[in-house]
Amino acid sequence: MFTGLVEGLGEITGISRLAEGLRLTVSPPFPAEELSLGDSVAVAGACLTVVEISSRTAAFEVSPETLARTTLTLKKAGDRVNLERALRLGDRLGGHLVTGHVDGRGALRERREGPASLFLKFEMPAPLSRYVIEKGSIAIDGVSLTVNTCQGNTFTVNIIPHTAQKTTLAQLRVGDQVNLETDIIGKYVEKLLGARSESSGVTAELLARHGFL
């Protein structure tokens, strides 16, 4: 589990293809020796497991499922990525609950620089739109952000200077793809309400017909 508060930028130093998936080697902004084998690290928002540690780098293996849902398959050596180590019990939850299980890719459709913040507008896969609400939370490349507005399959956010300096978001250009993770609470609520309505026979249509909606 993560918070979406990025610790810093890592640099990809190596990528190698495996029989299934790939191996990603990253130079973190903190001493690699602080990591342990098996640790979870959010790399560009995707939860990956440390499989090897050297004096300056950490290696991760990326599964085919993760490659299919994320932008990691587009990365190359020299690219910078947002990094966050897993939340520990007792840590402050300054962002929101982020699992590192990316839902899919989004694309930047508009970018405007203002005097105090950077405005970004993204397009998301249609199935994700029901989990995105105004003033709700979303993780973009592992960064916890507040949704300003959402309409159809698009939503907007504003990036303050601190976030712009500490993450990769300020480097995005129109057309660039990003990893999106919607708020896990909304997913659980939808699942629970769906199960309850199926077992009880109470549906949205029934409630509307009797004037409750």
| Tokens matching residue 197 | 């309505």
Query: What's the domain count of the chain?
Result: 2
pLDDT reported for residue 209: 74
Q: Do the beta carbons of residue 132 and residue 123 sit within 8 Å?
A: no
Q: Nearest CA to 96 among 190, 5, 191?
A: 5
Q: Is residue 76 part of a domain?
A: yes
111 and 160 belong to one structural domain: yes
CATH code of the domain covering residue 122: 2.40.30.20
111 and 63 belong to one structural domain: no
12 and 75 belong to one structural domain: yes
Q: Is residue 46 part of a domain?
A: yes
Q: Residue 198 contacts by C-beta under 8 Å, 6 or more apart in sequence? A: none
Q: What DSSP designation does 86 have?
A: P
pLDDT reported for residue 140: 99
C-alpha 194 chain-centroid distance: 25
The parent domain of residue 183 ranges over 104-188
| Rounded Cα gap, residues 48 and 9, in angstroms | 16
Q: Is residue 94 part of a domain?
A: no
99-154 pLDDT, tens digit per residue, is: 999 999 999 999 999 899 999 999 999 999 999 999 999 999 999 999 999 999 99
pLDDT reported for residue 124: 98
Which stretches of the chain score pLDDT less than 70? Answer: 195-204, 206-208, 210-213
- Strands of 143-146's sheet in order across: 143-146, 137-140, 177-182, 104-113, 118-123, 154-159, 149-151
